[in-house]
Amino acid sequence: MQQKMQQITILGSTGSIGVSTLDVIARHPDRYRVHALTAQNRVAELAAQCAQFLPDIAVVGTAESAQKLQLILRQQGLQTQVEYGEAALCAVASAAQCDCVMAAIVGAAGLAPTLAAARAGKKVLLANKEALVMSGPLLMDAVAASGATLMPIDSEHNAIFQCMPHAYQRSPSQHGIEKILLTASGGPFLKRAVATLDSVTCEEAIAHPKWVMGRKISVDSATMMNKGLEVIEAHWLFGVPASQIEVVIHPQSVVHSMVSYVDGSVLAQLGNPDMRTPIAHALAYPERISSGVAPIDLIQIAQLTFERPDLQRFPCLKLAYDALQAGGSAPAIMNAANEIAVQAFLDRRIGFRVIDQLIARVMDGLPSGPVTDIESVFEQDRCARDAAKSYI
C-alpha cells in the first residue's frame, strides 16, 4: 500500500530544531513534503531552505523581511508565497493543506501558532517549551477538544513517551506508573565549587559539555531552569503530579529519561545526544524511520552514572517545582522573569547567582491568577517582565 505523503509546516525552520527536522525530511522525500517554512528575520537562511525544499508558503516576522525574501525568491525563479506576522504564522499552522506542524519557535512568540495548530486538530510536534509552561491547560484542552495528536520533541519528553504504554491517556495510576525519572546533564557547573558561582562569566555559562545550543537555553541548562521547565512540561504532557516527577543528574546524557512502574520495572530510552532521533520518532510514529543518527556504542561509553541534584547549587529547579505546585499563571510568571534575568546576565548587567534571586523576587511579588485564555497568559507574562526589569 502506498504511503500518503505528509505535508509539514515548520515553525522556526532556521533554528537548530528546524534545521534538524529538514535534515530528517530530506532523507525521506517519498514520505514528507514541506508545506510552509517560517523564520523571524533570518532571510538568507530561509531563502536557501525555500530553494531546497520548495514550500508553498514562507512566513517571516516583518513586512521588511518579507520584501527582502520575496526579492531573493523571485530572482531565483521560485514561486513560494511570502507572508509575515503572527496571523500568517497561525494560518500556516492551521492550514487545511498541512498534516503536521513542527512547533519550534522559541519563547512566547510560539504560543499562538502552536495553539492554532492544536485547535485545528493537527499532529503537533512540540519543541516549544513555553507553550506548555505558560499555557498548559489551554494547550491540553485544545488537543482534547480537536482530537489533535501531541508529540513531544524535547529528548527527555520524547524518551518518556517512548517508555509509556502505547495507549497511555495521561492517567498514571491506571497504567501502573509510579514516577517519571527526568534526566539532566547537570550542565557546565555540576562539579564547580558553589561558593565560586558568583563569578561565573557568560562564556563559561554557555559552554555546555554535551549539547550545542543557543545562548539562552545554554544558560538555562547551567542554572537547571531548563530542567525545571521540563518538569512542568512533563506534568502537562503525561498528567503526572509534581510529586511523581524526579530529576536525576546523568552527566553522560545517554539515558534520555526513564519511567518507573509499580512492579519494580524501570524503562529507559538511550541514544546519542542528537535531536534528529526524537524528531524522526515523532514524524513517523508509530513507525520507525532512519534519522541519520548512529546508534550508541555502550562498550565505548563504559559507564553511566546518576546522582541527585543539589538544590543549593541549582535553586532554579526548586523555583520551578514551587511554580508548578502554585498552579495557575505561576509558571508563566516564572518563565517571563527567567527570560528577563537570563538576558540581563548575557548583557553583563547582573551576576549569575542573581538570576534565581530575581526570579524568586518576581514570583513572590506577583500573585498567580487563573489561565483562562491566551490574553490572560500574555498579560501575566507582561506584568512579570515589567517587574523583573524594575528590579534590575
Contact 292, 27 (CB under 8 A): yes
Per-residue confidence (pLDDT) for residue 258, from 0 to 100? 98
CA–CA gap between residue 329 and residue 374 (Å, rounded): 11
The structure's pTM equals 0.93
CA–CA gap between residue 215 and residue 379 (Å, rounded): 26
CA–CA gap between residue 325 and residue 310 (Å, rounded): 20
C-alpha cell, 319:
523555583
Instruction: Tell me if domain 6-152 and domain 327-392 are identical in fold.
Output: no
CA quadruple 38, 39, 41, 46: dihedral sign = negative
Instruction: Specify whether domain 327-392 bears CATH 1.10.10.10.
Output: no
pLDDT confidence tier of residue 212, bands split at 50, 70 and 90: low
Contact 141, 119 (CB under 8 A): no
Q: Average pLDDT, whole number, for the chain?
A: 95
Per-residue confidence (pLDDT) for residue 108, from 0 to 100? 80
For the domain bounded by 6-152, which CATH number is listed?
3.40.50.720
Contact 138, 377 (CB under 8 A): yes
Q: Where are the domains of the chain?
A: 6-152, 156-312, 327-392
Contact 223, 350 (CB under 8 A): no
pLDDT (tens digit per residue) in 145-195 = 999 999 999 999 999 999 999 888 888 989 999 999 999 999 999 999 999
101 forms beta bridges with: 9, 124
132, 138, 139, 140: CA torsion to nearest 10:
100
pLDDT (tens digit per residue) in 299-356 = 999 999 999 999 999 999 999 999 999 999 999 999 999 999 999 999 999 999 999 9
pLDDT confidence tier of residue 211, bands split at 50, 70 and 90: low
Q: Is the pLDDT of residue 5 over 70?
A: yes
Q: How many CB atoms lie within 10 A of CB 107?
A: 16
Contact 334, 320 (CB under 8 A): yes
